[in-house]
Amino acid sequence: MIKTIALYLPQFHEIPENNEWWGHGFTEWVNVKKAKPLFEGHQQPRVPLNKNYYDLSDVNVMRWQVSLAKKYGIYGFCFYHYWFNGKKLLEKPVDNYLQTKDIDFPFCISWANEHWTDKWVNENDRVLIEQKYGGRKEWKEHFEYLLPFFKDSRYIKQDGKPLFIIYRPELISARAKMMDYWNELAIQYGLPGICYAFQHTGVLFNYPNEDVSMFDYCIEFQPTTSWMMLDKSATSHKLLRRLKLIIEKNFRLSSFSLKRKMDTSKGVRKESYDDVWATVFEGTKKFPRCIPCAPVDWDNTPRWGNKGKLFVGRTTEKFYQFFSELIKLVKTKYPTDLIFVFAWNEWAEGGYLEPDELNGYGNLEAIRKALIENGEFPMDQ
């Protein structure tokens, strides 16, 4: 059975650090609300359905999210995790989730192991909190924080091993030693080990000499992976023609081309949704065991303004068609039954399944329709 895992951003509640760095009351909704249309037809700001600007410190919000996800066939959430050598940020939603056992929904964790910076407003990319990794003492402290999550019955596992994702492995110089030590600790605490995946495929494109053989899987994180492939002209004409055949039955192809064209008028970079999905179907072919990722949408101008990037030619109908085709591909070509989705609630980057005032429940309905069409909708939901 196909398992759709939605990436989940916890930055929808106040924390002291964000209040200090960005002003009192800051959450991701601040960026979402201040967005402006930058050209004719630009759909900003994005507004959640019924203006539901929720607060993730309220566990009832998470109950609502889980109920909605189950209804439309989402298998689980992947929570972003922020750990800076013992310093935690934005941990309250996932900590609440762990403690609230009546929320019966699978989950896993992705460690967003980068510096926190103000790069979208500061050209100097000022570091707000530095990412350091330490040694065995610090690794053990980090593992012991993660252990209750790993041992939770809801945690997503592969062959009994908790699936733990590291966003950017190339930033951890001693990653092999750290991962081996964590495996030892996992076994010591009664687990068969850890199933490791890395998320940002920049390590494959930009650091090809980095050894990532200690990972079980690579997640073809979108839309970053697609942009890297398009930038390197990795998308073949054969693949683009295949995509054309898939969608020409239902869509006018005025925005579709067999050669990449990116509009940078007025500073905003506009990327064809069709071309991005062409690379999703192609896959990176740079790692032997990959998990695909489906991009719902992208528009990061709420953060970046006219320096941002967005998809053009995107509709919920296209998302449904492409997602349905990806399900077929996973069933025949991929080593697992997992599909990651960007994203559940990345509102300031335009990638979200949650209902909004433009499309209603259209993104979720696209997921459900595609799963049902392929005989993959979980019947217990």
What integer is the mean pLDDT of 284-302?
Answer: 96
> Phi and psi of 298, rounded to 5°?
-155, 130
In the prediction, which pLDDT does 304 show? Answer: 94
Whether 259 has a pLDDT exceeding 70, the answer reads no
Give exposure, 286-324, as e/b (b: 16+ Cβ within 10 Å): bbeebbbbbbbbbbbbbbbbeebbbbebbebebbbbbbb
The whole-number pLDDT of residue 379 equals 73
Vertex 52 angle, CA 47 and 55, to 5° = 120
- Over range 298-306, report the average pLDDT: 96
Instruction: Please determine, for residue 263, whether its predicted confidence score (pLDDT) is greater than 80.
Output: no
Structural domains of the chain, ranges and CATH numbers in brackets: 3-373 (3.20.20.80)
Q: What is the pLDDT of residue 267?
A: 78
Report H helices in the chain: 16-22, 28-34, 59-71, 92-99, 136-151, 175-188, 202-205, 224-231, 237-247, 273-282, 301-304, 316-333, 362-373
- Give the pLDDT confidence of 129-159 residue by residue, as tens digits: 999 999 999 999 999 999 999 999 999 999 9
Residue that wins the pLDDT comparison between 50 and 235: 50
pLDDT number for residue 253: 39
Does pLDDT of 246 surpass 70? no
Task: Please provide the average confidence, as pLDDT, over all residues in the chain.
Answer: 92
The mean-pLDDT minimum among 104-108, 229-233, 240-244, 308-312 falls in: 240-244
Burial zone of 53 (CB within 10 Å; 0-12 exposed, 13-18 middle, 19+ buried): middle
Better-predicted residue by pLDDT, 373 or 262:
373
Q: Classify residue 263 by its DSSP letter.
A: B
Res. 256: pLDDT tops 70: no
In this prediction, residue 252 carries a pLDDT of: 43
245 or 73: which leads in pLDDT: 73
pLDDT above 90: percentage of residues in the chain: 83
Residue position matching structure tokens 């996973």: 330
Whether the predicted pLDDT of 126 surpasses 90? no
For 132-146, the DSSP string reads: ----HHHHHHHHHHH
Radius of gyration for the alpha carbons in the chain, expressed in angstroms and rounded:
20
pLDDT over 60 (residue 266): yes
